[in-house]
Structure 1
Amino acid sequence: MKTRIIAAALGCLFTSTILAQTGSVRPASPGEEPAKVVASGTLPDEASRAAILGKLRDLYGAANVVDRIEVGGVVPPPNWTEHMGKLLNANLKEVHKGQMQVNGTQVAIKGNVANEVLRQQVVSDMATALNPTYTVDNGLVVVAAAAQNVLDKTLSNRVVEFESGSATLTLTGRAILDEMATAIKKIGTPSVQVIGHTDSVGNRLGNIGLSLARANTVRTYLIDKGIPAESLSAVGSGPDHPVTTNETTEGRAKNRRIEFRLAG
């Protein structure tokens, strides 16, 4: 296993971790209290241990820091404790479900932040605090982008199916929406726009009406599955935004679809 140092910000659903020298970052185990910072691994001496634990307790509160650090048997880079202290600053509290990994002088941080300004600021401040021998890899993701990615992966290029020419869901369509309801709840039930699309066969205005009816059917189904009505809106785009050609049967089938977009 490579020698590494990891520090993670306090999260809501996962045990956040700072790991020095060796170990791993993981979600909280069943029965383990979430929303804690777990410090584990091996540090060179008691002074380093006390310094890092002190920083974490100042940031998150003593009651929220779990000490699993061991001491001895490792040789850190020059001024290691000083540099780690600079990394453990208030900006980490803006990162949720995240981790920071340091391999020698290479720092990698990932997790969720609220906006693009924070995404850049957290890493910029880290780079400024370190000497030029350190490099910082920014793996932070703006929450909206991460949440949209969950929706896209849940749909996974599948099509929410309806009975031909109607707004009645098929069994396959219902099964996909059951998964989507779970995904929307998982990402905190944000505002989601349900967008209906059709192929180009038939009258355009009729297709717009059908696409809206289908979007409303999906919205109603998700509400019945526990998604708040105020979190969902329905839009009918008809044939105006195809994802592929309407000249083939396969293309038309792909264009007849439902999209789920986070509302801005």
Structure 2
Amino acid sequence: MHGLFRWSSKWWPGTIPLVILWAFAAWTSTAPLESDLGQRATAALKDTVLDKTKIAVAGRDVTFSADAFSEEGRRSAVASVDAVPGVRLVNDDTRLVPEAKPFVWSAERDVVRVTLGGSTPLPAIKSRLLDAARASLSGVEVVDRMGLARGAAPRFDAAALLLIDQIGKLKDGKITISDAQVSLSGMARDLGGREAIAAALKNLPEGFSVAANEIRAPPYVFQAYKDPVAQTLTLTGYVPDNTVHAAIVAAAGRKFFSEKIVDNLKASVGAPASFANMVTSALGALSRLSTGTLVVSDREVKLSGDALYEASAGQIRAGLTKDLPRGWQAKPEISVKPAAAPVDATVCQQLFSDLLAKGKIRFESGRATIDPDSAGLLDRLIETALRCPTANIEIAGHTDADGDDGFNQALSEKRAQAVADYLVKAGLPADRFKAMGYGSMQPVAGNDTDEGKAQNRRIEFVVR
């Protein structure tokens, strides 16, 4: 018995190397099998749509985990792995991607970036939306904060792609899809952008509708700058259409008798009601300033600059705020230019002649009513009269030769008197002015052409 025990105790240590050799052989034969099964299982899933897919193989048993986007897709994926030759058992750890209720997706723009957030129904759609945003917003940072979820409305991707196209038209704002309802807020980048977005929304896929569109238009801005050094009037900003554009430029040409008009205006939608009338009236006020800036932003009219004399400043302030259309606001910021140095009578006469060579005091046809477009020129004449306070001035009225001589004589006298009254109303002494009418008796051009007649219809200032 003791001999048998001794024999046994000598035998079992010899089995240890055999066990090690067996385990090594089993491992070296199993590892390639597991790797092969893993590769074939992965290949079997290449046409399935899954997220977070993991394949683990132990022997011939496969543990399969993934997020599926439908129950049918989940079952099909498990069946595909189970059908791989050599697989004995599939441990199914798959699950459905959570369902979003409501299904919300968004695109938000600020000054420097666009952020895509919320949910998308498939990884391929998520990638497509990112690519579309980067292509549409070249040079703008696109931040991806989108997750994956079930529950998207049919044709979600078409709706989201259309809305991404609209993000480029925003200065800032947010566009949201909640189930099949679209909401928009923010400010359009350019005039007309709001209207362009509204037009695009009509092409949303069937089943989608606009719950709220709160896109605002940017301020509708018109600007005019009068530069006395360059002797220019520069117009920038927007006008409603080509007809209004032409009318405003023509009005500026009448009101600004010596300035060159620099026209940088563009036509665009979004002008407030009464825009053309307010701009034309405000240009008349600007024409009376030595230097100044006019800014019409939506329904606000801001005029700043230097009037040529004190009475003019008061008239300009009052005129800008008078009879404003409903909803409009005026902000006159008018100061008075320092008085120029006095001059003698000879210089005064030359200054009058230079001014009246550049522009004419206009009247209503056949009447002695001064055209408001002449206000800028009249203020210049008044400024000159203030510089020669001791000079007496004759205001001479002339007409062309059309019509009755008696009528022309009376009309020339009335027009001369109307100008004298205008100067007195500005604060100049009445006894410095003498209104004289000469009818058609002193022509400076022939009366056989319209051009010649226009030259003969004039007011002259003669220093005595």
Fold-level match, TM-score > 0.5? no
Tell me the TM-score normalised to structure 2 length: 0.27
The structure showing larger relative contact order (alpha-carbon pairs under 8 Å, at least 6 residues apart) is 1
Larger relative strand fraction: 2
| Structure with larger Rg | 2
Tell me the TM-score normalised to structure 1 length: 0.45
